[in-house]
Amino acid sequence: MKKLIFTCILLALSRYTYSYEYPKNENIDIKRYIFELTLNDSTDVIAGKATVTILFKKAVTDFELDLANKDASGSGMVVTNITAEGKPVKFLHQNDQVKITLPSPLNIASQLSFTITYSGIPRDGLIISKNKFGDRTFFGDNWPNRAHHWLPSIDHPSDKAAVDFIITAPPKYEVVGSGIKIEESYIGNRQKLTHWHEDTELATKVMTIGVARFAIKQTGIVKGFEVTSWVYPQNREEGFEAYKFAPRILDFYDAHIGPYAYKKLANVQSTTRYGGLENASNIFYFENSVVVGDGVNNATKNESLVAHEIAHQWFGNSASETDWHHVWLSEGFATYLTHLYIEFMYGRDRMTQDLRADRTKVTEFYKKTKLPVVFSSLPDDLLQILSANSYEKGSWVLHMLRSEIGDEAFWAGLQNYYRLYRNSNATTENFRQVMEDASGKKLDVFFTQWLYRAGHPMLEWSWNYDAKTQSVNVTVNQAQAGDAFQVSLEIGIYTGNGQSGEVERVWLDKKSNKFSFKTGQKPLKIELDPNTSLLYEGILKN
């Protein structure tokens, strides 16, 4: 997800300012949103009516929803009326929040529906623009906390809710949205109403709509769920080719992780800021993921992108991070699940190639920005949480965990984690506990050094051969600042023609480590980590 902005993020990370903290209200729980929106071609103004059903877990007199208010430029939303169960209530709309006063005191566990009537030009969140063919489009682009620019909501992943989108727009447009389509009707004065309905609770970051001229094709049925492609008509053939892998990818994850949480999967060519955005059941891909005249080659390049976004349907969408500190549970998981799919389809060598490229990204990133994967505090601009730490290093943590506990325990733990936190939220510590239960091993040191500590082992090493004892001696020093990492390391010892040899596994737990191995003859080559199992930098000092 979001690869198009990655370079900008690398630059921004050097200017980190830590202050963002979402003011959670533990007294309320959003149960359902119904967003009724009218779109048109004469203006960018949207007219909205949002019905928000809320469970009050404690007695309160008022509460807030997130909604951007109108600013000096004229963009933003204006609320004209709010009712509770049909009766007007007092409200105050300022500082991008709507404070709503309850009509009367509530009992604990009371549930009320509020209807908010509003309109305005979205400053962000709903991107109204033209695609590369000059056609007008409307695409929701909510990640990470931009839904409140057009939807009254709790704009944070910790409060999930069911959602309906009821969209009225000119009839030339097709509308894709969260859930399943339950109505499409031509109404009134040359208008079309489209209703998408989702009962599974979603975070606002992944509930959305796309409105454009689309060519639409069913590409498969997986476990009874329809898989479709929605592409611009001008690149119809290349578009259908670009997303053709989706059914087999969906089937792979369903078989290896657990049941798919939604009732359909639409893969959508879109005009938004990200390379891919994993909206629940309707994934948006950047418009140039479809290249005219290069259908077959483009589809091959797209396979990893499609696999990454579909993996998010399990991790990030269904099992979501409780807060942004734990975004690696989304991005690192989707990155590694893509590697696992590639391994399944094309073999270990192809996966190894990708892992080595990722390792280079991580080590280069660390030279510029020395941050841990799990943040203790958050940057003002949440886009800055996306980096080689959350993607590639998070993926490498899972790869090393797989090596640490073994394939059987790893897959069992991954499946149990999804089962326990499906359609819910989790933290890094929740994941650690699940993997400890699956493996029977204490993993606190592993998680602390790889996720809560910045950096990785920097190994300066050398070797020599002792002809008298017919032994090879290997010295491995950990040159990074701070304490030694506690890790296992494989050492490949190649004799004969240098193409085959023995792999020895050793344990590094000190800054200086020495090992001796009987070889019978002088090795032609010694190699650290021949099976690509460790995130590290290595310098041969011989």
Residue 295 vs residues 243, 244, 301: alpha-carbon distances, Å: 10, 11, 10
Q: Look at residues 261, 195, 248 and name the one whose alpha carbon lies nearest to residue 34.
A: 195
d(CA 457, CA 455) in angstroms, rounded, equals 7
Check residue 497 and give its pLDDT: 65
Mean pLDDT of 507-521: 95
Check residue 252 and give its pLDDT: 98
Reported as a single tens digit per residue, the pLDDT across 65-92 is 999 999 999 999 999 999 998 999 999 9
Reported as a single tens digit per residue, the pLDDT across 183-211 is 999 998 889 999 999 999 999 999 999 99
- Write the single-letter amino acid at 365: F
Mean pLDDT of 513-532: 94
Reported as a single tens digit per residue, the pLDDT across 422-471 is 999 999 999 999 999 999 999 999 999 999 999 999 999 999 999 999 99
Check residue 114 and give its pLDDT: 97
Model confidence at 498, in pLDDT bands (50, 70, 90)?
Answer: low
Mean pLDDT of 513-541: 95
Mean pLDDT of 534-540: 96
Residue in the block written with tokens 């070889």: 519
Model confidence at 15, in pLDDT bands (50, 70, 90)?
Answer: very low
From-to residues of CATH 2.60.40.1730 in the chain: 27-311
Check residue 19 and give its pLDDT: 56
For helices 295-311 and 246-256, give the axis angle rounded to 10 degrees: 30
Mean pLDDT of 327-331: 98
302 or 358, which is more confident? Answer: 358
Cα torsion angle, 462, 466, 470, 471, sign: negative
Q: Which CATH code of 3.60.20.10, 3.40.50.1860, 3.40.309.10, 2.60.40.1730 fits the domain covering 27-311?
A: 2.60.40.1730
Of the listed ranges 270-274, 464-468, 508-512, 515-519, the least confidently predicted one is: 270-274
From-to residues of CATH 1.10.390.10 in the chain: 324-452
Model confidence at 291, in pLDDT bands (50, 70, 90)?
Answer: confident
d(CA 430, CA 320) in angstroms, rounded, equals 12
Helix, strand and coil content of the chain, in percent to the nearest 5, comes to 30, 35, 35
CATH number of 458-540: 2.60.40.1840
d(CA 519, CA 123) in angstroms, rounded, equals 68
Check residue 14 and give its pLDDT: 39
pLDDT, mean over the chain:
93
Of the listed ranges 111-120, 222-231, 298-307, the least confidently predicted one is: 298-307
Residue in the block written with tokens 């799990």: 374
In degrees, rounded to 5, the angle at the alpha carbon of residue 143 between the alpha carbons of residues 273 and 31 is: 145
Which CATH class, in words, describes the domain spanning 324-452?
mainly alpha
CB atoms within 10 A of CB 522: 12
Check residue 6 and give its pLDDT: 40
From-to residues of CATH 2.60.40.1840 in the chain: 458-540
16 or 252, which is more confident? Answer: 252
CB atoms within 10 A of CB 348: 12
Residue 234 vs residues 127, 231, 338, 435, 500: alpha-carbon distances, Å: 21, 8, 30, 48, 53
- Please compute, for residue 445, the number of CA atoms within 13 A of its CA located in the half-sphere on the CB side: 10
Helix ranges (DSSP H) in 13-141? none
Reported as a single tens digit per residue, the pLDDT across 97-156 is 999 999 887 777 789 999 999 999 999 999 999 999 999 999 999 999 999 999 999 999
Look at residue 4 and tell me whether its pLDDT is greater than 60.
no
Check residue 13 and give its pLDDT: 41
Model confidence at 293, in pLDDT bands (50, 70, 90)?
Answer: low
Percentage of residues of the chain with pLDDT beyond 70: 94
Check residue 1 and give its pLDDT: 56
Q: Look at residues 81, 154, 90 and name the one whose alpha carbon lies nearest to residue 119.
A: 81
Mean pLDDT of 321-344: 98
Model confidence at 3, in pLDDT bands (50, 70, 90)?
Answer: low
Q: Kindly report the three-state secondary structure assignment for every residue of 162-197.
A: EEEEEEEECCCCEEEECCEEEEEEEECCCEEEEEEE
Q: Is 451 helix (H, G, I), strand (E, B) or coil?
A: helix
